[in-house]
Structure 1
């Protein structure tokens, strides 16, 4: 069993309010980066590989015109 060590240089001391302020960080990102993050979080939440989202079951839907 290998021993893991915490890299203390990767973190900084913050108050709870500073740590919870995610909006400021995400507003600095481009829309492409935010979309990439959202894709990653969806893949984690719904348990599918990041670049292979599940296919839609097209047999469950039907197309009809409105008259």
Structure 2
């Protein structure tokens, strides 16, 4: 992830309620990007929103989950 897109930013004040037709037009901006690029954007914005280092994301706490046998 060394090519982290610094050109993307998370603007927490930019949220607007949209109807369906407005949302379709909004999504056209990302139409030409590959799914890999959209995933990188998602990971980058997630790291900003939750405040973790993109190069060293937090590990899942596996002690929280249990495996039970269903009968």
Q: Which protein is bigger by CA-based radius of gyration?
A: 1
The answer as to 2:63 corresponding to 1:55 is no
Which of the residues 4, 12, 36 maps onto 1:32?
36
| TM-score w.r.t. length of structure 1 | 0.63
1:46 aligned residue (27, 44, 50): 50
d(CA) in 2 for partners of 1:27, 1:51: 27
Whichever structure has more helix as a proportion of its residues is: 1
Structure 1 residues without counterparts, runs of 5 or longer: 1-19
**TM-score computed with the length of structure 2 as normaliser:** 0.60
